[in-house]
């Protein structure tokens, strides 16, 4: 009997242990599955969501823009006053320039451009900042001379394609920042002399220390990026999410600051103050600088290869701006834009095509008409082909930024290219070419990313169009808590030397493969148009990655060919076609209308997709009545155009 009870107990014990083992095994593998699912979700977030899209923000164009978004200077109503005009991403930054003008009479366009750039980098750090770089196109009214500056980021001196891989996250994605060197060059070469560099920096230092209000765009970006930072924190054990503590209202519970809250960037304010006290070259581009040594340690700790030499050897490249005379139909107006590693060449090639045969070379037409729209989009496709020939051609000491290689001059200067495009534009069938290769692309496009652009015309008639970037939103996703620096991920703008041919049989561009000290190709093209009297008529540029060049192009066509007002030029929906992929992006099917969409798809033969507004235009325009208009792209990024009376 006793033996029977023991047998039963032993049997129960075995059953219990077996059930427990099953439970533990199930739990173990369930946890593995859960962890794998979480990891896969994190990887997907990092791969798909780290881009230039501010998803929580409404970025819809409109056909009925409010006149409140238009700043106007009428010389007859403001006799005795002169306009100082700004169109930028933030009214807060425009107001800082207004205060600067009042405190330091005589400051000019170059001084204002530095203030705006530093302010945008402090507040909208996700788009631009001293951890990035850019381009500036300038026009001096008194001398009637234009100038171009390339302060794009440069690849590390130690870069080796056999060892290093292109990435968009972490230290290896960081190229040498050029923005500060660019600002210092503008200040030294074109500044008014009425204000010191430190005095320009001081209000921005104050912003970081005393705090600034989180506005709608920043709030929407933080709402999106807390998930991305959390995904990186889960995926990479070396990533320290606490380095981003300044963007949270409740770090422990991962609640980001939201619209209306106050953000502080005290470490970055200290860095700017140090730069103001010691000068840009000594503080930011000297191997002996404690600041440079701190930045290099941080970058290398995060698997980067930038070193002291990269900062010390960085140089701004000064060149001749590209100039294109629009001819008799436009009374000899000149389009002035950027060269170098920008996409100014692509923009000029498009304007040349439209000026030669678009609308039969006449200054007529309206937006969204069947023929004008077809010609506009086809020209964009030829611009896309032109862009496949671009890339830094002056990175070694034996080349010059003003010596354009044949691959570029053949498009920029050769009429044969234009004539080939005109055959398509004027074909009565209005059919797009079926084969992408018929547009003669040389390589696959590299994908450009996000930026900030601002346009300035001062009270003396001088103008600057400046575009700057850290590439994707929040750049490399690395924030150094000691210096407050947020670093670019500009290496991601290079083309991979090891990519497979695409569906058209094209490889990545050999002109945009990374090499030491080389600058990646950009879609930026800050542009100025000067009238027949030598006065600035248009100052314009855009942010928005590969859509930058086509947005500027469409804006210039609207302003110059169609005589559209600046307010509608910027607020109306836009098209974008970059040839590869062979798809036409349309910002709003509803606003463009079913009839136009039907013609584009059925008559013209385009594959279309509807997209949100990713390109942000900020512009200035002198009208035929000599009024000055300023418009910031409020509809896509809550930007502001402002006029300060001097």
Length in residues, the chain: 646
Tell which residue, 125, 132, 113, has the closest CA to residue 185. Answer: 113
Tell which residue, 330, 352, 354, has the closest CA to residue 412. Answer: 352
Bridge-based pairing state of the strands 608-610 and 584-586: parallel
Tell which residue, 563, 570, 567, has the closest CA to residue 624. Answer: 563
Q: What is the 3-state secondary structure (H, E, C) of 259-280?
A: CCCEECCHHHHHHHHHHHHHCH
Is 469 annotated in some ligand binding site? Answer: yes
Q: What is the 3-state secondary structure (H, E, C) of 51-98?
A: CCCCCCCCCCCCCCCCHHHCEEECCCCCCCCCEEEEEECCHHHHHHHH
Residue 580: left if φ>0, alpha if ψ -120 to 50, beta else—which one?
beta
**For residues 39 and 37, what is the distance between their CA atoms, to the nearest angstrom?**
5
Is 152 annotated in some ligand binding site? Answer: yes
Q: Please return the burial class of 224, using the count of CB atoms within 10 Å of its CB with bins 0-12, 13-18 and 19+.
A: buried
Cα torsion 414, 509, 403, 174: sign: positive
Q: Do 517 and 305 meet the contact criterion of CB atoms below 8 Å apart?
A: no
Q: How far does the chain reach from its first CA to its final CA, in angstroms? A: 110
Is 470 annotated in some ligand binding site? Answer: yes
**For residues 459 and 138, what is the distance between their CA atoms, to the nearest angstrom?**
15
Is 39 annotated in some ligand binding site? Answer: no
Q: How many other C-beta atoms lie within 10 A of the C-beta of residue 189?
A: 13
Decide if 527 is catalytic. Answer: no
**For residues 380 and 436, what is the distance between their CA atoms, to the nearest angstrom?**
13
CA distances from 77 to 72, 74, 121, 645 (A): 11, 5, 36, 12
**For residues 2 and 275, what is the distance between their CA atoms, to the nearest angstrom?**
89
Q: Please return the burial class of 134, using the count of CB atoms within 10 Å of its CB with bins 0-12, 13-18 and 19+.
A: buried
557 three-state secondary structure? helix
Is 407 annotated in some ligand binding site? Answer: no
Is 342 annotated in some ligand binding site? Answer: no
Tell which residue, 227, 133, 222, 129, has the closest CA to residue 185. Answer: 133
Q: Which residues pair with 609 in a beta bridge?
A: 585
Q: Do 152 and 520 meet the contact criterion of CB atoms below 8 Å apart?
A: yes
Candidates 337, 418, 451, 467; catalytic one: 451
| Residue that the structure tokens 């220390």 belong to | 209
Please tell me whether the peptide bond between 581 and the residue prior to it is cis, using omega within 30 degrees of 0: yes
Q: Do 134 and 180 meet the contact criterion of CB atoms below 8 Å apart?
A: no
Half-sphere exposure at residue 635, Cβ-oriented, CA atoms within 13 angstroms: 27
Tell which residue, 508, 523, 540, has the closest CA to residue 618. Answer: 540
Q: Which residues does the annotation mark as catalytic? A: 451
Known binding residues for L-glutamate are: 152, 469-471, 493, 522-523, 545
Known binding residues are: 152, 469-471, 493, 522-523, 545
């Amino acid at each position: 009997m006793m033996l029977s009870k023991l047998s039963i107990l032993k049997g129960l014990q075995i059953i219990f242990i077996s059930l427990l083992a099953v439970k533990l095994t199930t739990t173990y593998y369930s946890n593995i599955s859960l962890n794998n699912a979480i990891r896969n979700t994190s990887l997907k977030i990092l791969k798909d969501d780290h881009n230039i899209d501010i998803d929580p923000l409404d970025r819809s164009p409109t056909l009925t823009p409010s006149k409140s978004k238009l700043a106007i200077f009428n010389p007859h109503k403001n006799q005795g006053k002169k306009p100082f005009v700004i169109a930028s991403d933030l009214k807060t930054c425009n107001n800082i320039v207004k205060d600067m003008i009042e405190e330091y009479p005589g400051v000019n366009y170059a001084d204002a451009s530095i203030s705006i750039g530093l302010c945008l980098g402090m507040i909208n750090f996700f788009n631009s900042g001293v951890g990035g770089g850019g381009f500036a196109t300038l026009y001096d009214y008194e001398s009637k001379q234009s100038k171009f500056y390339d302060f794009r980021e440069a690849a590390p001196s130690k870069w080796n394609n056999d060892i290093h891989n292109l990435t968009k996250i972490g230290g290896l994605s960081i190229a040498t920042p050029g923005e500060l060197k660019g600002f210092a060059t503008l200040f030294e070469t074109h500044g008014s002399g009425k204000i010191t560099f430190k005095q320009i920096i001081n209000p921005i230092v104050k912003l970081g220390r005393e705090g600034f209000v989180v506005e709608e765009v920043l709030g929407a970006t933080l709402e999106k990026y807390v998930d991305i930072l959390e995904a990186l924190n889960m995926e990479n054990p070396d990533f320290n999410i606490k380095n981003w503590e300044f963007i949270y209202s409740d770090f422990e519970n991962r609640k980001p600051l939201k619209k209306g809250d106050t953000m502080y960037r005290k470490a970055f304010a200290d860095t700017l103050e140090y730069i103001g006290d010691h000068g840009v070259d000594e503080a930011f581009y000297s191997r002996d600088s404690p600041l440079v040594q701190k930045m290099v340690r941080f970058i290398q700790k995060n698997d980067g290869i930038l070193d002291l030499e990269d900062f010390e050897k960085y140089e701004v490249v000064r060149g001749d701006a590209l100039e294109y005379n629009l001819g008799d139909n436009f009374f000899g107006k000149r389009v002035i834009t950027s060269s170098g590693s920008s996409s100014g060449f692509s923009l000029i090639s498009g304007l040349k095509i439209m000026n030669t045969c678009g609308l039969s070379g006449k200054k007529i037409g309206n937006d969204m008409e069947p023929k004008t729209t077809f010609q506009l989009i086809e020209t964009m496709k030829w611009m896309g082909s032109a862009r496949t020939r671009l890339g830094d051609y002056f990175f070694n000491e034996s080349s010059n930024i003003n010596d354009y290689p044949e691959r570029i001059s053949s498009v920029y200067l050769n009429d044969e290219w234009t004539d080939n495009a005109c055959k398509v534009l004027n074909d009565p069938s209005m059919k797009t070419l079926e084969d992408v290769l018929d547009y003669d692309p040389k390589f696959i496009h590299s994908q450009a990313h996000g930026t900030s652009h601002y346009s300035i015309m001062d009270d003396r008639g001088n103008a600057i169009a400046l575009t700057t970037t850290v590439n994707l939103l929040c750049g490399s996703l690395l924030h150094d808590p000691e210096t407050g620096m947020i670093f670019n991920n500009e290496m991601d703008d290079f083309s991979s030397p090891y990519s497979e041919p695409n569906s058209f049989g094209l490889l990545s561009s050999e002109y945009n493969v990374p090499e030491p000290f080389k600058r990646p190709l950009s879609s930026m093209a800050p542009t100025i148009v000067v009238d027949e009297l030598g006065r600035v008529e248009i100052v314009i540029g855009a942010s928005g990655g590969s859509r930058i060049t086509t947005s500027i192009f469409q804006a210039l066509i609207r302003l110059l060919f169609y005589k559209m007002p600046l307010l509608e030029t910027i607020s109306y929906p836009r098209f974008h076609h970059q040839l590869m992929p062979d798809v036409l992006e349309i910002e709003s099917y509803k606003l463009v209308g079913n009839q136009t969409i039907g013609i584009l798809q059925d008559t013209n033969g385009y594959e279309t997709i509807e997209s949100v507004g990713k390109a942000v235009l900020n512009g200035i325009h002198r009208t035929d009545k000599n009024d000055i208009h300023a418009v910031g792209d409020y509809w896509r990024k809550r930007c502001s155009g402002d006029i300060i009376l001097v």
